[in-house]
Amino acid sequence: MGDDVIRIFDTTLRDGEQSPGCSMTKSEKLEVAGALVDLGVDIIEAGFPIASPGDFESVRAIAEKYGDQTVICGLARCIEADIDRAWEALKEAEKSRIHVFLATSAIHMQYKLKMAEEEILRRTSEMVSRARNYCDDVEFSPEDASRTDLDFLCQVVETAITAGATTVNIPDTVGYATPNHYYNMIRTLKEQVPNIGQAIISTHCHNDLGLAVANSLSAVEAGARQVECTINGLGERAGNASLEEIVMAIRTRADFYRVRTNINTTKLVPISRLVSNVTGMRVQRNKAIVGQNAFAHEAGIHQHGMMQESSTYEIMKPQDVGFVGTNLVLGKHSGRHAFRERVQSLGYSLDDETFQKVFDDFIALADKKKEIYDADIVAILDQRSHHVPETWTLLRLHTSAGTGTIPTATPELKNEETGEIRRDAATGDGPIDAVFVALERIIGFPVKLQEFDVSSVSSGKDALGEVVVTIADGSRIHHGKGVSTDIIEAAARAYLQALNKAIAARKNEGE
């Protein structure tokens, strides 16, 4: 790659997954990894192999499936066992990277590691060398770099490069840096580390002060040529630098940054939706680039300007990021051919079986809604194209509620493995609570509801409602999503999907 290319290092599957409640299954990680490959990221940090057997298996599966298409990276502390385990997970990948880290700030050295500076330098040299013996592509991170003494940071970076590190990452681990502070750190490393030309400088910024993207872009100005980021800015605490914001800032302000990325930007909104669906973390409406309001114009003066010339209030085109608005596209009498063409234009490629299910959903929706929008079709597609295990399916649902009456629900379910049909009735605080109680009773699988979120997919009184639920099965967290013009039905489908995921998780662990 030339010096004008910024390498995009995606850590959604590692740092992003560490967000509370955002854990993913192996199959979900593989699905997201495939979407990241399609997006064009240069490096995928697939996980922390020694953290758990599940993490190890996920990294190994991703390395085997996608390691010939992009660099697959595994994280390791500066500990022999960590590095050995990381290589074991990565060794089948044609393109692999071991990423080792060690804290270097005074507060971390004193309270966490209880190491002196000389020990930090020795450990850095030994562990980077160990990783380099396995793999030609080694990244080193001095954890909490933004609170590390700058002279010592230069020493550590020089030591890591001498030992064989090909990328040196400068993490703002706790989101402490400011743009000018971070710029000066990168410039100092460029100017004072004698062997810095032998490695790529990388950024890894957290968003505790809302400065992760600004800090990352300041580092690019200062000479960094790799940016570590996540889809939707997912990550611990306030999250990481947002991939879509960094990529579009570099593209939109190419006149200023004079660099580029290898990202296919038309895939940004689809992968944002995928990660949101998989993790249950809804994207805020006013989120830059991928939020529902990112290309909405309410103010009359804005609307008038947009009609005359879109560039008056738009610095990016919606189609450049794969944004799907609420264009009216289809109605009840639209045929299969027109529907298939629309699905393909929205960026989805479906096998015949999945297409038929989606088309059936579309026809059923057309009986309930006069007008169907792109956003409605995308909601249906997301339900069907994202593979979710279905032990139980909803056949029928009846609810009753009202002022002065006892809310009741009577669902009928089918077990897809045995063909058995079960039904039961329950009461609750309201019709949705009654549905949830009845579903748990039928399946015999009590869980704890942690979050319940409802929103409209498009506009109008007959809009599709989208419900997202989060349940806890012991220590395991599962998410479910349902869409319907009937919000109670959408809630039932969301809860049932989450229950099906919980059942599948127990089966996979042999319980």
Q: For residue 307, what pLDDT band results from cuts at 50, 70 and 90?
A: very low
Greater confidence, 362 or 305? Answer: 362
Q: Positive or negative, the Cα torsion across 193, 206, 135, 86?
A: positive
pLDDT in tens, 5-46: 999 999 999 999 887 777 788 988 999 999 999 999 999 999
Residue 139 forms beta bridges with which residues? 99, 167
Report whether pLDDT(474) > 50: yes
Indicate the pTM of the whole model.
0.85
- The pLDDT of 484-494, averaged and rounded, is 93
Mean pLDDT, rounded, of the chain? 89
Q: Residue 357: its pLDDT value, please?
A: 86
- The pLDDT of 365-383, averaged and rounded, is 80
Give dist(CA 402, CA 190) in Å, integer: 69
Return the structure tokens found at 217.
């872009």
Give dist(CA 145, CA 127) in Å, integer: 18
- Map residue 280 onto helix, strand or coil: coil
Return the structure tokens found at 138.
């080694």
Distance (Å) of CA 436 to CA 36, 337, 395, 446, 479: 35, 38, 15, 10, 14
432 sits in the region (left: phi over 0; alpha: psi -120 to 50; else beta) called alpha
- The pLDDT of 405-429, averaged and rounded, is 95
Report whether pLDDT(224) > 70: yes
Q: How far is CA 235 from the centre of its chain?
A: 9
Q: For residue 298, what pLDDT band results from cuts at 50, 70 and 90?
A: very low
* Least confident piece of the model among 102-111, 367-376, 473-482: 102-111
Report whether pLDDT(344) > 60: yes
